[in-house]
């Protein structure tokens, strides 16, 4: 059951906030690695609920199982909720359903491009069977827009990015991996 804080807390207590407001607060926390993106843009905020005893229950999902930012993100959400007057909360990380870059918002794609990172393409289902040489679309250069680009390395500065180089404007750039 989802109820609002103002039904529970006595007058003079913390600011009454609705689930929608709490979701906005948690969702607007920036990603520590790519600060132009919010958790909402990334699609990693999976749920915000208020439990029967008034605890705010937030569920997040990691981008990668080993992503070091996961703990920082959880702490940032707690800090944001505390600042908004929430005194009882539980921030949990769940693996299922597994995060996919398809959950990233259109707004997130635009922000990434403006920040100089090529947004992820549509996710392919995991490959099956023999596939020694994969065929994939090139990432478009976020600076000049050319699709004449070359992948330098499948793995970049963070688990979620790969390293590319633009053959048109000769600039290197990061691309968010479709996963």
Partner 1 sequence: MTSPPVSGTNTASEPPVDQTALALYVLGLGDDALILAQRLGEWITRAPQIEEDIALGNIALDLLGQARTLLSYAGDIEGGGRDEDDLAFLRDEREFHNVQLVEIGNGDFAVTMARQLIFSAYQYELYSALLTSTDQTLSALAAKAVKEVDYHRDHAAQWVLRLGDGTPESHDRMQAGLDRVWPYVEEIFDSTDVVTALPGIAAEPAALRPVWAGYVENVIAEATLTLPTPKWRSRGGRTGYHSENLGHLLPEMQNLHRSHPGATW
Window 55-84: residues binding partner 1 (CB under 8 A)? 59, 62, 64-68
Candidates 155, 167, 168, 170; binder of partner 1 (CB under 8 A) is 155
Q: By C-alpha distance, which of 25, 42, 24 is closest to 33? A: 42
Q: Does 121 bind partner 1 (CB under 8 A)?
A: no
**Residue 77 in contact with residue 58, Cβ under 8 Å?**
yes
Q: With CB under 8 A as the contact rule, which of the stretches 8-16, 78-86, 132-140, 141-149 interacts with partner 1?
A: 132-140
Other C-beta atoms closer than 10 Å to the C-beta of 177 total 21
| 111 in contact with partner 1 (CB under 8 A) | no
Spatial separation of the C-alpha atoms in residues 179 and 61, rounded to whole Å: 14
- Asked if residues 44 and 73 have their Cβ atoms less than 8 Å apart, the reply is yes
Nearer to partner 1, 49 or 55 (CB): 49
Classify residue 178 by its DSSP letter.
P
Q: Is 159 in the site for partner 1 (CB under 8 A)?
A: yes
Least distance in angstroms from the C-beta of 9 to partner 1: 23
Cis peptide upstream of residue 88 (ω within 30 degrees of 0): no
Q: Which residues bind partner 1 (CB under 8 A)?
A: 23, 46-47, 49, 59, 62, 64-68, 93-100, 126-127, 129-134, 152-157, 159, 163, 177, 179
């Amino acid at each position: 059951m989802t109820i609002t804080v103002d039904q529970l807390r006595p007058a003079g207590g913390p600011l009454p906030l609705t689930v929608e407001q709490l979701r906005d607060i948690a969702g607007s926390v920036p990603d520590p690695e790519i600060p132009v993106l919010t958790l909402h843009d990334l699609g990693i905020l999976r749920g915000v609920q208020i439990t029967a005893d008034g605890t705010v229950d937030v569920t997040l999902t990691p981008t990668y199982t080993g992503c070091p930012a996961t703990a920082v993100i959880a702490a940032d959400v707690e800090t944001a909720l505390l600042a908004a007057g929430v005194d009882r909360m539980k921030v949990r990380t769940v693996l299922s359903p597994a995060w996919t870059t398809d959950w990233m918002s259109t707004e997130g794609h635009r922000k990434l491009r403006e920040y100089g990172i090529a947004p992820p393409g549509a996710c392919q289902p995991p490959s099956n069977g023999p596939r020694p040489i994969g065929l994939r679309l090139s990432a478009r250069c976020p600076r000049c827009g050319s699709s004449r680009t070359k992948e330098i390395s499948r793995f970049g500065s963070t688990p979620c990015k790969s390293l590319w180089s633009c053959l048109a404007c000769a600039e290197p750039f990061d691309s968010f991996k479709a996963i």
